[in-house]
Amino acid sequence: MIEATHLTKRFGDTIAVDDLSFTVRPGVVTGFLGPNGAGKSTTMRAIAGLIRPTSGTTRVNGAPLARHAAPITELGTLLGPGLAHPGRTARAHLLALAATHGLGSARVDEVLQLTGIEAVARRRVGTFSLGMHQRLGLAAALLGDPQTLMLDEPINGLDPDGIVWVRRFLRTLADEGRTVFLSSHLMSEMAQAADHLIVIGRGRLIVDAPMAEVLAGVGTPRVLVKTPDATRLAAALAAPGVTVTSLASGELEVMGLDAPAIAAIARDRDVLLHELTTRTASLEEAYLSLTDSTLEYAAADPAA
């Protein structure tokens, strides 16, 4: 569990984080979104105890991180590029980290295996691809078998295989009952990876809600209908408040009626349906409508 309570951080005249309160719960993957400069990294760094808040508090698993006897067993972090020496092997890097926390080589071998880098454990970190670096960073985050994980852009720069691997890996960790908190700029990935969303803009909370609720709250759901009898069905669906559009693919796009209502009308008119698909807004659309007015560096509108 991660809690931020009235968290505020100023850098000179800049308010990076502004009276931010939220709770990140165990058992689900929580995504952290916001435009560039919104204050995500600053928030995560405050939670990790790397910067001191101007005011407000952060807690990890019930207490400020520094109050825990063994922080590494409470919070695992991936915040920016790792600090592994390029001349060191991955295993030596993890062994050194483990030693500073009284952890043995058995745990190092476990996390190497968990993150799928045992085969390259004796290679120098300087020869690693970005994907291997990310896995090594995750291995380091997992060393203390922490209940809570906080990852800043863990899928940045990964190839599709790496992205799918990280997504599944985070899902497994959440299913084990851990708290998983991650930021990402990749909306479609975030939509698949996260169950819950926290969105901030200009350091303030905009949304703290389940992913499904965020997606449902934006735009009008559309239903795509595939039928060999599109003309007849379109005529049957026509009613005030209902918009039926014929798509180039031959499908109908219906707004103003949900899938069960369309199915019932089709049955009454003896129209055969091949497909009926409800489309909600994408996370990208939802995100843009939420953060519209909070972009720190909004592009100038050429029409203005």
Ligand X SMILES: Nc1ncnc2c1ncn2[C@@H]1O[C@H](COP(=O)(O)OP(=O)(O)OP(=O)(O)O)[C@@H](O)[C@H]1O
User: Of 200, 182, 258, 177, whose CA–CA distance to 225 is shortest?
Assistant: 258
The answer to whether the CB of 88 falls within 8 A of the CB of 131 is: no
**Closer residue to ligand X (CB): 107 or 204:** 204
Q: Mark the segment that binds ligand X (CB under 6 A) among 40-48, 103-111, 160-168, 219-227.
A: 40-48
The answer to whether the CB of 2 falls within 8 A of the CB of 65 is: no
Which residues on adjacent β-strands are paired with residue 245?
Answer: 253
14 contacts ligand X (rule: CB under 6 A): yes
121 contacts ligand X (rule: CB under 6 A): no
146 contacts ligand X (rule: CB under 6 A): no
Query: Measured from the CB of residue 11, what is the shortest distance to ligand X in angstroms?
Result: 3
3-class SS shares of the chain: helix, strand, coil, % to 5: 35, 25, 35
Q: What Cα–Cα distance (Å) separates residue 289 from each residue in 64, 215, 219, 246?
A: 34, 11, 9, 27
Query: Measured from the CB of residue 148, what is the shortest distance to ligand X in angstroms?
Result: 19
**CA–CA distance, 233 with 276 (Å, rounded to integer):** 13
Helix (H, G, I), strand (E, B) or coil at 77: strand
Q: How many chain residues interact with ligand X (CB under 6 A)? A: 11
Of 2, 3, 30, 40, the residue at the interface with ligand X (CB under 6 A) is 40
Interface of this chain with ligand X, residues 16 to 35, rule: CB under 6 A: 16, 34
Of 19, 26, 37, 109, the residue at the interface with ligand X (CB under 6 A) is 37
**Closer residue to ligand X (CB): 52 or 274:** 52
Of 30, 42, 58, 227, the residue at the interface with ligand X (CB under 6 A) is 42
Note the Cα 103 to chain centre separation in Å: 30
36 contacts ligand X (rule: CB under 6 A): yes
Residues that bind ligand X (CB under 6 A): 11, 14, 16, 34, 36-42
